[in-house]
Structure 1
Amino acid sequence: MAVKNQVQLITYPDSLGGNLKTLNNVLLKYFSDIFKGGVHILPPFPSSGDRGFAPLTYLEIEPEFGTWEDIKAIGENFDVLVDLMVNHISQKSKYFQDFLLKGRKSEYADLFITLDKLWKDGKPVKEDIDKMFLRRQVPYSAFTIKETGEEEKVWTTFGKTDPSEQIDLDVKSEKVKQLLTDFFINFSKNNVKIVRLDAVGYVIKKLGTSCFFVEPEIYEFLDFIKGLADSLGIELLPEVHSHYTIQYKLAEHGFFIYDFILPYRVLDTLINKNSQELCKYLKNRPSKQFTMLDCHDGIPVKPDMDDLIDTKEARKLVDIALERGSNLSLIVSDEHKAPDGFDVHQIRCTYYSVLNKDDDAYLAARAIQFFTPGIPQVYYVGLLAGENDIEAVERTGEGREINRHNFTLEEIEQSIKKPVVQRLLELIRFRNEYPAFNGEFKVLDCAKDEVSLSWEKEDKKCTLFIDLKTNKSVINYIDNNGKETEYLV
């Protein structure tokens, strides 16, 4: 199964109309020729937190969203992509609940990493933990086993609560390999074509290392998963937020990677009216990537942009984003902050709002994304040129809610009529249908306040030109009659 080189949608199961059935109706009614690349449905599984990212199982769909039949129905017309949190599973899952009841006697005990799997006596050693890339104060949680009253400490990389809601899986265990196999077989049965491996960088726990992207063991695990996916005709997309060189290692191993550098680069280009860094980047990046500008988190800054940005310049860009209503997520551990204290992990906003709701600037951003080699993904809020949802942030206290507005059918109907959305849909159609995007890409020489990119295949050629002084974008292309045609984006 080859991933289609066309535009994909990213959406929650309930954010375009309330559930999966309505999502399918909305896709067929408004976007049947728009998302030819497929639909990334953010976790539709029963979950105990983190808006779906703490799944109890991958064998069921959260009843509020619908059923596997609904996923299957969407898959009739659109390639479906779903997430697999390959590093962990919910504390509320039947597997961990059984372990909480029976401890080591549970048939599922081996799914989890009790501390004696790392330290012989089960006692954590501070020097080992100091070397690790931590996502919470300590990488384990203590639980009391109901039947015996004994305390068990198990590995938990993530989680805001103590004990954590997200329990790590032991990927060395045959039981975990069987469980992952069951999940993949179920995906395949239900028309899932692509699986995003969420948090895959954390799956290997090895003393003396950072426990993040541990080589070569990570590749052994990825080879196992790839063999499984290949046998079922499923494509994989590993998700790793890290220094770009780690991403590039995955690309060297033949995997698709996420372009987490592009969103910041495009924002910087449009705000500072300077394309030099963007053009330099576009000349040297791997092409087997999924591109995005916005998603359910934020615009990546650290660690994705480490060694690629000057933190003084980044601070200025962040300040402009804050003036335009954004909020920030910050780096937790001191050793991962910049020497000057710069600690921005992600800028949280809608991409339309951070570009000051300037239609031309927003279309220029999308044009750059669509001309960048890779599979373009458009987040549902970006699709509808949604604005920062400040009220949702205040109501929930969760900064990420700024870009997670749930649209009613009426709001979708109204948003689609906006000129900026109509222009975006036209641009997506061009990206989906023009044959040169399967050809050769070039970054053309241009002044620093311009962007000029081209694609060419046989007798078809298209060139994007953006004047950053005005944010106006023009595409010149050879049409089906061999005539040069100008398209004002």
Structure 2
Amino acid sequence: MSVTTYPPQPTLQFLRDRVNHHLERIYADVDEFEISPQLGDELLQIMGISDDVCEAPQHRNLWDQQDVFVICYGDSLLAGHDIPPLEVLQHFLETHSDGLLGGVHILPFFPWSSDDGFAVLDYSSVNESLGTWHDIEAISERYDLMADLVINHCSSRSLWFQNYLQGKSPGKDFFYEADPDADLGAVVRPRTSPLLKKVETVNGEKHVWCTFGHDQVDLNFRNPEVLKQMVSIIRFYLERGVRVFRLDAVAFLWKIPGTSCLNLEETHEIVRLLRVLIEHWRCDAILITETNIPNRENLSYFGNANEAHCVYNFSLPPLLVNTLITGNCNYLRQWLMSLPPAQNGTAYFNFIASHDGIGLRPTEGILSDREISALIETMEAFGGRVSYRALDNGVQKPYEINISLFDALQGTVHGKDSLGMQRFLCAHAIMLALEGIPAIYIHSLLGTRNDYARMEHAGHNRAINRHQWDYGKLETALADPDSDHCKVFEGIKRLVAIRREQPAFHPNATQFTLQLGRTLVGFWRQSMDRRQSIFCVSNVARKARKLALSDLNLIETDQWVDLVSGEALEDIRGYITIEPYQTLWICN
């Protein structure tokens, strides 16, 4: 991403008023903690914001069509005990990305006790098995660095929680306690483990809230000391080069027994407050909310362009996979038509694979139970696993499918076939052309398969798609033009290179969904200056399909070419044959 700087403006009093306004709304109903009238000034002091305030325009885009992220763990690539994995990652990016990947999301690189990093022991340290802050800063100097702010919970083995048990600070009153007899039946969460964990403290037996499992204890943001600690961590990350903050599991932040404890207004207000503080420290900083929830709720985190700059487009992965295995794009098309254009200053964060799985909650209200079952059965036939969540009646419901995307697309509902490579590249071509900022999981970039050994060793399904590559073996695979890994890597790189040159693929460029039947996914993109149009058409069926170019309403006076194949369209009133899983980017 290009870094845009703005002249400092003397708006400290205005900023102080904004901060205090958010705090008043957050703590309006909190009576168990004393809320100091100086809390706003304390937060500004913690952030180091003084007389000169950086004012970030609310509706200014901080990205363009050249922005493509890669998502990875700090140890996705290993080269022996003598070389820190973060150093290996940087070498890979500089050697193989050829300037195509502008941003990198390194999943939690802190010391942790479980959940592959998301049970944080110490927010201020880099896991010594990965490297040091020097390695993190070196990557941030070359790439836009996204880091996780694991804001909802921390490890039960952290210093904070151990201090909580002993009634010491920092940690005292840092964790949310609940009465096991309280009305908690409406609480929505993505796990099947008991919500509350009984612990012995110096003050007697307590029950602490654990949304994601008993090693991940939820922080109590009703206590302003927790907010102050998190703001201090944010500034620490900013000073070390983090530009993009991924607010992990933020939808669960605020708790009120008797409610769903999901997407509460206080949670939204905290996101607004953090945005104000972060963007006035660094004007081009970006907040992304990670909210694996139904689409309508997910979109609410845009606010009025005053909450998240970007929201994860969680409905895209399951709907796109479903489209490609059924050969029917009706649901994907209907969903695309329902997506409101992101305001300037906001953008969708598009992905089709991640370190977790293919979430099923975002399909609620879109796919029927029967169709979700068919999707699950197909993924299980391709070696995938299913993770569940518990409903309030004790019933377990499928929450996500755990599988590598390359394996997920090796066939259709009719079974495996020989078109897996074409289907896989088609999925990325669709994602790269859509409105929004694309992010590619490193194991999709490398065509990694299901890792059953790692899943068995880790003891949880998600590890199936968290392979650790031996860097020497990877280099050998990428150098072999006959290997699937090389074909995938070069194919995706080529698509990214084409995307980066097209103004019509700006994340906020106009998008209009085309009606081309059930087997052709089509949408039109137009650059913000209206000088470039691209008609994106993909055949999601196992058989070739004919497209009547007259259906696209191409302007006769323009010269049209398919950017993917490089072939010119001579007769825009004729027909063109689209092979199985072929994508056309028809551009003037």
Superposition pairs of residues 35-114 of structure 1, within 5 angstroms: 35-36=101-102, 38-100=103-165, 102-103=166-167, 105-114=168-177
Give the % identical residues. 28
Q: 2:429 is matched with which residue? A: 367
Q: 2:49 is matched with which residue? A: none
Task: Tell me if 1:291 matches 2:361.
Answer: no
How far residue 52 of structure 1 moved from its aligned partner, in angstroms, is: 0.4
Closer/same/farther in 2, CA of residues 76 and 472 from structure 1, 3 Å limit: farther
Q: 2:577 is matched with which residue? A: none
How far residue 442 of structure 1 moved from its aligned partner, in angstroms, is: 2.2
Superposition RMSD on alpha carbons, in Å? 2.6
Secondary structure (helix, strand or coil) at the match of 2:197 reads: strand
Q: Distance in 2 between matches of 1:395 and 1:462?
A: 47
Q: 2:291 is matched with which residue? A: 240
Q: Distance in 1 between matches of 2:467 and 2:193?
A: 31
Q: 1:224 is matched with which residue? A: 273
In structure 1, what residue type is equivalent to 2:139?
Answer: I
Q: 2:462 is matched with which residue? A: 400
Q: 2:224 is matched with which residue? A: 174
Closer/same/farther in 2, CA of residues 299 and 110 from structure 1, 3 Å limit: same
Structure 1 unaligned runs (5+)? Answer: 116-122
Q: Distance in 2 between matches of 1:429 and 1:386?
A: 21
Which of 155, 180, 187 is the aligned partner of 1:132?
A: 187
CA contact (8 A) 2:159 2:171 kept: no
Task: Tell me if 1:277 matches 2:338.
Answer: no
* Rg larger in structure: 2
How far residue 241 of structure 1 moved from its aligned partner, in angstroms, is: 1.7
Task: Tell me if 1:409 matches 2:459.
Answer: no
How far residue 40 of structure 1 moved from its aligned partner, in angstroms, is: 0.6
In structure 2, what residue type is equivalent to 1:432?
Answer: R
Q: Distance in 2 between matches of 1:78 and 1:182?
A: 24
CA contact (8 A) 2:73 2:107 kept: yes
In structure 1, what residue type is equivalent to 2:108?
Answer: P
Q: 1:383 is matched with which residue? A: 445
What is the aligned length? 463
After superposing the two structures, state which structure 1 stretch, 367-376 or 451-460, moved more: 451-460
Q: Distance in 2 between matches of 1:421 and 1:435?
A: 24
Which of 144, 154, 157 is the aligned partner of 2:200?
A: 144
Q: 1:421 is matched with which residue? A: 489
Which of 60, 81, 93 is the aligned partner of 1:27?
A: 93
CA contact (8 A) 1:8 1:377 kept: yes
Secondary structure (helix, strand or coil) at the match of 1:111 reads: coil
How far residue 25 of structure 1 moved from its aligned partner, in angstroms, is: 0.9
Task: Tell me if 1:434 matches 2:502.
Answer: yes
TM-score for the superposition, normalised by structure 2: 0.74
Closer/same/farther in 2, CA of residues 20 and 97 from structure 1, 3 Å limit: same
Q: Distance in 1 between matches of 2:545 and 2:107?
A: 32
Secondary structure (helix, strand or coil) at the match of 1:331 reads: strand
How far residue 3 of structure 1 moved from its aligned partner, in angstroms, is: 4.1
Q: 2:378 is matched with which residue? A: 320
Structure 2 unaligned runs (5+)? Answer: 5-61, 80-84, 411-418, 480-485, 566-582, 584-588
CA contact (8 A) 1:33 1:429 kept: no
TM-score for the superposition, normalised by structure 1: 0.88
In structure 2, what residue type is equivalent to 1:230?
Answer: E
Closer/same/farther in 2, CA of residues 449 and 155 from structure 1, 3 Å limit: closer
CA contact (8 A) 2:318 2:359 kept: yes
Q: Distance in 1 between matches of 2:280 and 2:394?
A: 39
Closer/same/farther in 2, CA of residues 325 and 73 from structure 1, 3 Å limit: same
Secondary structure (helix, strand or coil) at the match of 2:287 reads: strand
Q: Distance in 1 between matches of 2:123 and 2:500?
A: 31
How far residue 336 of structure 1 moved from its aligned partner, in angstroms, is: 8.8
